[in-house]
Structure 1
Amino acid sequence: MSEVRIAAEPRTEFGKGAARRTRRAGKVPAVLYGHGTDPQHISLPGHALMLALKTPNVLLTIEGLGNGAELALPKDVQRDPIKGFLEHVDLLLVKRGEKVVVELPVQLVGDVVPGGQVAQTAVEISVEAEATQIPESVELDISELEIDSQVLAKDLKLPSGATLAADEDILILQILDASVSTEPEAEAEAEAVAEGAEGEGEGAAE
């Protein structure tokens, strides 16, 4: 897994105004917590943090703290819904050798069988892994899946060192028959809605 060193600064001002000032200075407000310690309010360099968070479950080495460097995982990342910049980050303290539960993306590899269509219902899966050995993703080869087949969480081949932390019967995906179209049903439903609206209009006119 990826490990990134990043420098932190203590944060003594709180509230929306203080957070805006922190972001205007090119930094991101953050909270570091875990292991029964009091939460530490810090700020992190915005550009470096943004680059680091492009890697799922990146392990951060937080430097510049009074008690030395700390290892942490991002647990909650808040972004501006319109512009996408980082607004706030919650970081969970971890230790080497410690097991943690994280969400891994399910990455599809291979081509779907001719005439088949992939319907993926879960794009992430919860696994438990060592904090410093978290895989980047879970690969799922769909090339040998037949039409009407399903893949459940228990069917996934997890990376070495990772164990399933989710319900084993969660549906990950199924292979549908691409030749079976739902368009006639959709058209019939649209016609029924249109007829209903037309009937309401006539009633209003009366």
Structure 2
Amino acid sequence: MKSSHTLTVHAREKQGSRYARRERAAGRLPAVLYGHGAAPMSISLDARQALRYFHAGEKVFTLDVPGETKQQTVILKDLQFDYLGTNVVHVDLARVDLNEEIEANVHLRFVGDALGLKKANTILTHPTVNLHIRCTVATLPDHIDVSIVSLDEGQAIHAREVVLPPGVALLTDADAVVAAISTVKEQVETGEATAVEGQPAQPEVITEKKKEEGADKAEKKG
């Protein structure tokens, strides 16, 4: 964990969707702070500052909470989005101790150019983009790097092969695939053989055959 950033906190006395909209219109992000036996507290954050850290993958912060003399160490527990799933509208923060053991999902960052992608008709897939881990708050990584430089065609990297930082335990299924190089097969459509090379084959004309059969019958009658 890098040194935690301090978030600007404002007290939020009134609750409800109408007041939450007013907070967001004023450039603040509604949030709730809870944990360690204390009563939940409604607060708001500076939206631009907080979202910049959230999008960068930061999870642990320091708060100067109004009415409290001691700074609070908190962890980001949940982000709530609008109905389109694009804008953050509410944040859950939990009080923690730096030596407290927690479980968290950490984003994987894939590093390098895979060897297998230099071959034709190959693609890189990321079936797993986060790892579920257990560690102390102090050792919680912002992300985990995964080198894919030596990953070749037909090969995969599993969760158990990811190098974890010291003090971090893997909770994700060890056999989960985090990256793989696969081959895309080309589908070539082949038509019927042509009668003359370079010219399209002529379809069978059923009506002409029937006319010929009719002419033969007429000659026999005559």
Question: TM-score if structure 1 supplies the norm length?
Answer: 0.79
Cα 1:184–1:38 change in 2 (3 A) is farther
2:107 counterpart letter in structure 1: P
Residues 64-123 of structure 1, C-alpha deviation per residue, up to 9 Å, x if partnerless?
A: 333332111112112345594431101121111112222111111121222242111011
Hey, what does 2:9 align to over in structure 1? 8
Q: Which residue of 2 aligns with 1:46?
A: 47
Report the 3-state secondary structure (helix = DSSP H, G, I; strand = E; otherwise coil) of the residue aligned with 1:49: helix
Task: Return the alpha-carbon distance in structure 2 between the equivalents of residues 19 and 43 of structure 1.
Answer: 9
Distance change (3 Å), C-alpha of 1:34 and 1:117: same
CA contact (8 A) 1:112 1:142 kept: yes
Give the TM-score, by structure 2 length.
0.74
Is the Cα–Cα contact under 8 Å of residues 105 and 124 in structure 1 kept in the other structure?
yes
- Higher Rg of the two aligned structures: 2
Q: Give the distance between the partners of 1:3 and 1:49, measured in 2 at CA.
A: 12
Q: Which residue of 2 aligns with 1:66?
A: 67
Long gaps (5+) in structure 1: 186-206
How far off its partner does 1:140 sit? Answer: 1.4
| Among 116, 137, 147, the residue aligned to 2:143 | 137
CA distance in 1, matches of 2:129, 2:138: 23
Identity across matched positions, percent: 27
The alpha carbon displacement at 1:63 in A equals 0.4
Q: Is the 8 A contact 2:80 2:90 kept in 1?
A: yes
Q: Equivalent residue for 1:20? A: 21
- The structure carrying a bigger strand percent of its residues is 1
Q: CA RMSD in A?
A: 2.2
Equivalent position of 1:118 in the other structure = 124
Distance 1:120-1:19 versus aligned 2 partners, 3 A rule: same
Cα separation, 2, equivalents of 1:139 and 1:76: 23
**Structure 2 SS opposite 1:111:** coil
Quote how far apart the aligned CAs of 1:41 are.
1.0
Q: Which residue pairs with 2:214 in the alignment? A: none
Q: Is the Cα contact below 8 Å between 2:77 and 2:92 reproduced in 1?
A: yes
5 Å-filtered alignment, 1:83-94, equals 84-94=86-96
2:78 match: 76
Does 2:193 align with 1:177? no
Q: Which of the numbers 125, 135, 157 marks the counterpart of 2:163?
A: 157
1:45-69 CA-partner distances (Å, limit 9, x unpaired): 2222122223213321110333332
Instruction: Rate the CA distance shift 1:18–1:148 in 2: closer, same or farther, 3 A.
Output: same
Structure 2 unmatched runs, 5+: 190-222
- Look up the match of 1:32: 33
